[in-house]
Chains A and B, each alone.
Chain A
Amino acid sequence: GAGVSQSPSNKVTEKGKDVELRCDPISGHTALYWYRQSLGQGLEFLIYFQGNSAPDKSGLPSDRFSAERTGGSVSTLTIQRTQQEDSAVYLCASSRGLDEKLFFGSGTQLSVL
């Protein structure tokens, strides 16, 4: 596609439910990143995929968070047993490779009630 696409754009869920957030990167981009942006805070790195290498999961805040990238393209970020502190904007970005310019999607606004 022309840009990074994220869905849904907004998600409201109840505490304790699981959610899945989707990211379609720019075609041909081998690197894909997930970041989280909370109100008044900077971007917090969550996880990073590069080609067929093992993902860098060092930013995931707990084992309730996981992500996968199928076929080197679409990625899904899953949050299990959501908590209110998970409420944030989840941003996906892709690039041609590590250390290249990043292109961001519009994000998914997650609200946990």
Chain B
Amino acid sequence: KQEVTQIPAALSVPEGENLVLNCSFTDSAIYNLQWFRQDPGKGLTSLLLIQSSQREQTSGRLNASLDKSSGRSTLYIAASQPGDSATYLCAVDPGNTPLVFGKGTRLSVIA
């Protein structure tokens, strides 16, 4: 059974700092991996989707990497801003079955 773990559960950084969020999964046989953002009281917004054949995806200040063999993904946020404060969730697509989500990392960027 696929399990997804995100560490740390919460993170607080000063504005302007670069940061890395970690995601690990137990079964390397995945179709793709997605990173989502969730603001309080809101649904999830997809940030980046990395196919299993890819190593990384970039969108603006966000960069997500994927190392399938070691069961790891990272989300790198450059020059963090208070508006980046949210919960970030990692989800693994095992292929032909629904996504398996981690519990998320709650990020606070302090001005």
Contacts and interface: CB of A to CB of B under 8 A. Distances in A.
Contacts of B4: 42
B97 interface: yes
Chain B residues touching A, range: 20 to 34
A30 to B, nearest CB: 14
B67 interface: no
Interface residues of A, number: 24
Given A43-B89, A56-B98, A102 B103 contact: no
A6 B42 CA distance: 11
A51 B12 CA distance: 43
Interface string A89-102: 00101000011011
Interface of A: 4, 6, 33, 35, 40-43, 45, 48, 56, 59, 91, 93, 98-99, 101-107, 109
